Amino acid sequence: MVLRKISTLLLLVAVSLVGIAQDEITLEDIWRNGTYSQRSVYGVRSMADGIHYTTLDRTENGRVINKYSYKTGEQVEEILSASTLAKWLGEDDFSIEAYRFSDDEQFLLISTNVESIYRRSSMADFYVVDLKGKKARKLASGVKQRHATFSPDNKYIAFIQENNIFIQNYKTQATEMITKDGEQNKIIYGYADWVYEEEFAFSKAFFWSPDGKHIAYYRFDESEVKEFHMPLFNGLYPEDYTFKYPKAGEDNAKVTIELRDVEAQETSKLELGEYEYIPRIKWTNTGNHLAVMKMPRLQNVLEIDLINRKDLSRKNIYKEFSETYIEISDDLTFYGEDDGFIWRSEKDGYFHLYAYDINGENEQQLTSGNWEVGSFLGYDKKNAQLFFSASMENPMNTSIYSVGLDGGKPKRLSPAEGSSQADFSAGFQYFILYHSTANSPRKVTLNDAKGKEIRVLEDNQALRERLDEIKLPEVEFFTFTTSESVELNGWMIKPKDFDPNKKYPVLMFVYGGPGSQTVTNAMSGNHFWHQMLVQKGYIVVSVDNRGTGARGKAFRTQTYRQLGLMETKDQIEGAKWLGQQSYVDPARIGIWGWSYGGYMSSLCLFKGADVFSTAIAVAPVSNWRYYDSIYTERYMGLPQDNGSGYDDNSPINHVEKLEGNYLLIHGTADDNVHFQNAVEMVDGLIEADKQFDFYIYPDRNHGIYGGNTRYHLFSKMTNFISENL
C-alpha cells in the first residue's frame, strides 16, 4: 500500500513537471522544432481569368503545379507534375523550383537548380514547356540564365546569360543575342547592379512592351565603380569574391536605357537629359510610350518622362521637389487607354494617392488626412476602384482600403485592429488577406473585393492552441513624451507573474531606420524569442524613435543629414523613462538590434553609458562612410559635403565611451553591411582599450542563417543576456 502511494505521488510530480516544461518556450522549439512558426499561404498565382489560381504543391512524387478555384478552393486541374516533366525530357527525375506562364497560359517556363546571388537575384536552368504539345526542352545551353520572361504576344522569351540579353522565338528556337559587350564587373545588361538591387529593390531590369514588339532594358557601365573583395572560407584556399560596390561619395555605375525593336532588329539609346539614377521604367497600357523616372544623386527631385517609342521624343509629365529626399516605390500606375496615371506622394506632408491625366495635368488628390497610405495595391479599371493599405487609425495598425477614382471616403476592407496585407487576383474579384495582431498569429483568408470573407485558408490553429495552453503575457502598447516634447510609441511585454513592486531588468529591441517601424500591431519574427526572455524574468520593450514611418514626412525626415543623432536621443530617453518606472531596475537596461538596429544599439551603449549597461549589435554599420551610395546619400547627402554628419554619429567614433557589456556579431560574407564594419569597430575598441565580446559567422551573409546557424546565434545572444543583464 505504501509503495503504491509513493508511485502515485511520483507519477503526479512527473506529470506536474511535464506540464511546467511544456509551458516553457525553448530555443529548440523556436529554431529547431518550428513549434512557434507561423504558417502562411505562399506561391498563389492568379490566372488570367481572375477566378482561378495555381500553386506549386509538394507530393510524394515531387512537386506539382495545380489549378484551383478561388471561389471554392477546390482543385480543378493538374497543370504539370515533376514526374510528367521528367518523362517529357527523357530524364529519371526533375525538380520544379519555380514556374511562369506565358500570357496565353499555353506555355510554361520552369526553373530548376536555382542559385541565389544577392537579396533579390538568382540564376537557374530554365526549361520551356509546351502544355498542349506535351513536350519540353532546355531554354539554352551553357551557363545558367537569369530572369527568363515570355513576351506578351506569346512569341519570344527574353533572358540574360553572362551579362548579355538574348531573345528566343520559343516556337522555332531561333535565338538572337541583342547585346554584345556585357562583361562581369564591367557592363551589365538587363539586370540591376548590386546597389540598385539592394536600394531600389529590383533585380530584373528589362521590360516587354504590352504588344511584345519592343523591349526596354537597363545598361549599367560599372567600369569606374570600385571593387569590394570578400573572402569566402569554403575550401583549402579561401576564394576572393569580387563585386562592384559604390560606397558613399564614390563613383556609381553609369546607367542608360536602350530600346530594342524586336521585329526590325534595331536598338536605340534613349536621350534622357541630366540624371544620376533611373529607379524605375514602365510602359503605358498601350505601349506607345515608356515612362522613365529620373533622380539626381541627392534623390531630392523626381521626374517622370514619357518616351515615344516611334520617334523617341521625350516629354516630362511629372516633377516633384523635396527639401530632404523622395522615397521610391512601384506605385506608378497608368489607367485606361493611356488616359492618365496614379501616383503616391507625400507632397502635403503625408503619403497619399493622386491622379493625373497623361500629360501630368489636372491633378486630383484621391486620399487626404493626417495619416499615411502605406502602399498602393492596384487599380480595378472595370469598377474604377483603387486599393491601398494605410495606417488611418494610428501608426500601429494597418488596414486595406478601397476608394473610387473620383476620390471620396475610403472604405475599409479588413479589420481595424492589427496589421493587414493583401494580394489581389487578376481583375480584382478576390484578394488573399494576411492579418495578425501583436498577440494573435497570422490568419489568412480569401475575401471578395468588398472585403467579405469567403473562407479561411490558414488560421494557424495548432499554434493558437499552443498559445492558449501556455498563456503568454500580452504585448502592451504605450506612449511617452520625451524631454524635447516628442511623443513616441512603444510596446512592452511583462512577465506573466508581474509584480509592480519588484524591480525587473529590461531589454529594448531597436531598428529605428528611416521609414521603418518595430512598434506595429503584428506578431513579429522575434516575438517568441522575446517571450522566452520574458519567461526568464526580463521585460522586453521596443520604441519607435524619430525618423520612423507612418507618422508623416516631418516626423520621418527630422533625421536628415544626421542619422543616429535624434534616434539615439529618443532611445536613451526611452531607457530613462523606463528607469523611472517603479518596476524597472535602472541599472539593468540593455538594448539589441540587427543591421540599422545594430548600428543603433552600438551607438546607444556608447553614447548612453549612464542608462544602458548591455548591448548586442548584429551586423551593424559602424561608419556611414563604409555603406553604399544610394541609401547613405539619400539620408545623409554626400560625405564630401557633410563630413560631420557622417562622423559625429558613427559608432566607431565613440568607442572610447564604452562602459558596459558589448557583444558584436557579424557574418564574414555579408555583401550588404560588409564585415569591414566589424573589423574596423574591433580595431577601434582595441585602440580605446575596451573589453568586449566578438562573434563571427564564417561565410554567412547579412541574414546570418543556414543549417544550425540561427539556433547557435540566438543561443549565444540568450547566454550573453543571462550573464550580463
Which CATH code, of 1.20.120.1200, 2.120.10.30, 3.40.109.10, 3.30.200.20, is assigned to 355-437+440-469?
A: 2.120.10.30
Helix (H) or strand (E) holding 607: helix 596-607
Domain-by-domain residue ranges, the chain? Answer: 355-437+440-469, 474-724
What pLDDT was estimated at residue 8?
38
What pLDDT was estimated at residue 469?
95
Using a pLDDT cut of 70, give the percent of the chain over it.
97
- As a whole number of angstroms, the distance between CA 291 and CA 285 comes to 11
What pLDDT was estimated at residue 352?
98
pLDDT tens-digit map of 436-494: 999 999 999 999 999 999 999 999 999 999 999 999 999 999 999 999 999 999 999 99
Residues in the chain: 725
What pLDDT was estimated at residue 19?
39
What pLDDT was estimated at residue 676?
98
Contact 124, 97 (CB under 8 A): yes
- As a whole number of angstroms, the distance between CA 324 and CA 553 comes to 10
Q: At what angle do helices 461-470 and 2-23 cross, to 10 degrees?
A: 120
Rg (CA), the chain: 27
- As a whole number of angstroms, the distance between CA 125 and CA 552 comes to 45
pLDDT tens-digit map of 536-568: 999 999 999 999 999 999 999 999 999 999 999
Q: Which residue has the cell 520572361?
A: 149
Counting as low any pLDDT under 50, the low residues of the chain are 1-21
Question: Which residues have a catalytic role annotated?
Answer: 595, 670, 702
Q: What is the CATH number of domain 474-724?
A: 3.40.50.1820
What pLDDT was estimated at residue 22?
62
What pLDDT was estimated at residue 125?
97
Burial class (CB in 10 A: 0-12, 13-18, 19+), 174: exposed
Contact 357, 340 (CB under 8 A): yes
For the residues of 491-507, what is the DSSP string, one character each? Answer: EEE--TT--TTS-EEEE
Contact 568, 600 (CB under 8 A): yes
